Amino acid sequence: MLEFTVFSAFVATLFCCVHFYVGSLSQLIYLAQVFPDKIKSFQAINCASAILVPLSKFFFMFTSSSRLRKIMELSHDGLTALPENSAARKSMLTTLRKAYMVSWLVVFILVVIHVMYLVLPVLFTIFGNDRYLPSMPGDIYGIFSKYESPYYEIAFTLTIIATFFSVVNQTGYIVLFVVLLAHELGHFYAICEVLHEVRDIIFGQENNLVAIDYNNNEKKDTKQTNVGVNLNSESSKQKKIEEMLIFCVKRHQFLIKLHAKICDLYKVIFVAHFFIMIIVIVSTLQTLNSWGLINTFLTGTSAVTPLVVYCFGGEMLISSGLAMRDAVYDCGWEGMGVRQARIVLLILCVAQHPLYFTAAGIIIMNRETFGDVAQVVYKIYAVFN
């Protein structure tokens, strides 16, 4: 086990060093050589900044392993606390299955982008008269002209290693964010399902409901969760409603705890990625005419994908909180007893403060932020043109 750990650390360090050497270091040296040439400078800035994104994700994943382990354990506990065969658990599992499909879509997009990044220069080299390297405006530092043998082969091998490092880190990071987001959304949807069941009980539509025991489920064996409940008497109905409302309160308290840990984990890396991705997008637009449409598409897509996931994932989190608030309003509180109505009022008061992701506690991740970023990018682009 120790040997495997040491070997893994060595391989990770090697890939990280090659990635930094090929991209950031070489392009910063090239930037110092070509400055103040506008086009060449933006090409070097684009390449150097784009490579900082997966590099920052690598250090984030490496330094946050212990906190991530605690968050994943907490997420697992939250899933197992949902009663078996309940609509809440089914809603959570449905959300996680959707996250699974989204994760594979992210993997497909990033793999295709990076494969095209490597294959297209090879095709241009085979069928053309020159040798090409992907998105490398300057020579790799320490290697003479990259277009001459044998240095072209060495440079391309290093580029493959750097690209593999990039795709693994970017894909793993985004998939992790999607999974953690899905757990939060799943708990919101689970609470909504329980509130809908409460409404059905109050309005006499409980015939199609599965009898579930929500009371102190965390301390019971899963074999004891399916307990029949007689809802014919008013006292039994009120007791069942109170049990389900208390379950909603506990689930929301757990969700707040989980959300706080996730926000604390991401608040710094969000800021770094926002600034880096803005630089990548701006420099990509500046080199659109001189560097080619293919390079612009590949670099731009790779830079925009995390930003889209951040902003629209945050928008989904806010929307799910609003959906829970609407479910509280619509749970039939007017037909409850005083004790149950007070619990509903407690849930409603807490629901007035929506959960959302922020960058350093300042920038809220939602679709408005995505639009603001697009405006800022366009303004910067217009200034330089």
Cis preceding-peptide flag for 121 (omega within 30 of 0): no
Mind listing the pLDDT tens digit for each residue in 20-37?
A: 888 788 888 888 888 888
Looking at residue 294, its pLDDT comes to 65
Helices 151-202 and 87-127 pack at an angle, to 10 degrees, of: 160
Beta strands in 134-259 (DSSP E): none
Looking at residue 98, its pLDDT comes to 92
Question: Residue 317 in contact with residue 185, Cβ under 8 Å?
Answer: yes
DSSP 8-state code for residue 366? S
Question: Residue 305 in contact with residue 109, Cβ under 8 Å?
Answer: yes
**Average pLDDT across the chain, whole number:** 80
Looking at residue 146, its pLDDT comes to 62
At position 50, the amino acid (one-letter code) is A
Looking at residue 222, its pLDDT comes to 37
Structural tokens at position 89? 């658990």
Question: Residue 218 in contact with residue 246, Cβ under 8 Å?
Answer: no
Greatest C-alpha distance within the chain: 87
**Residue 363, phi then psi, degrees to nearest 5:** -90, 120
Looking at residue 306, its pLDDT comes to 81
**Mean pLDDT to the nearest integer, 246-262:** 90
Q: Using 50, 70 and 90 to split pLDDT, how confident is the model at 2?
A: very low
pTM of the full structure: 0.83
Q: Using 50, 70 and 90 to split pLDDT, how confident is the model at 160?
A: confident
Looking at residue 207, its pLDDT comes to 52
More confident position, 157 or 296: 157
pLDDT of residue 8 exceeding 80, the answer is no
**Residue 251, phi then psi, degrees to nearest 5:** -65, -40
- Count structural domains, the chain: 1
**Mean pLDDT to the nearest integer, 157-169:** 86
Give how far the C-alpha of residue 179 lies from the chain's centroid of Cα atoms, to the nearest Å.
7
Mind listing the pLDDT tens digit for each residue in 295-353?
A: 667 777 777 778 888 888 999 999 999 998 888 888 887 777 788 888 888 888 888 88
DSSP 8-state code for residue 232? S
Q: Is 233 helix (H, G, I), strand (E, B) or coil?
A: coil
- Find all residues with CB under 8 Å of 326, minimum gap 6, and list them: none
**Mean pLDDT to the nearest integer, 150-165:** 83
Range of the domain at 295: 2-384
- 120-129, 146-155, 200-209 — which is least confidently predicted? 200-209
Closest CA to 85 of 166, 197, 203, 175: 197
Q: Is 358 helix (H, G, I), strand (E, B) or coil?
A: strand
- Rounded distance between C-alpha atoms, residue 163 and residue 145, angstroms: 20
pLDDT of residue 281 exceeding 90, the answer is no
- Rounded distance between C-alpha atoms, residue 15 and residue 23, angstroms: 12
Q: How open is the CA angle 140-164-306, to the nearest 5 degrees?
A: 100
Q: What percent of the chain has pLDDT over 90?
A: 10
Work out the number of other CB atoms within 10 angstroms of the CB of residue 316.
17
Give whole-number Cα distances, 270 to 20, 60, 134, 167, 310, in Å: 21, 11, 28, 19, 8
- Find all residues with CB under 8 Å of 9, minimum gap 6, and list them: none
**Residue 359, phi then psi, degrees to nearest 5:** -100, 110
- Find all residues with CB under 8 Å of 75, minimum gap 6, and list them: 180, 183, 258
Question: Residue 151 in contact with residue 145, Cβ under 8 Å?
Answer: yes
pLDDT of residue 230 exceeding 70, the answer is no
Q: What percent of the chain has pLDDT over 70?
A: 86
pLDDT of residue 101 exceeding 90, the answer is yes
Structural tokens at position 355? 């959960």
**Mean pLDDT to the nearest integer, 58-78:** 86
pLDDT of residue 209 exceeding 80, the answer is no
**Residue 104, phi then psi, degrees to nearest 5:** -65, -35
**Mean pLDDT to the nearest integer, 90-116:** 89
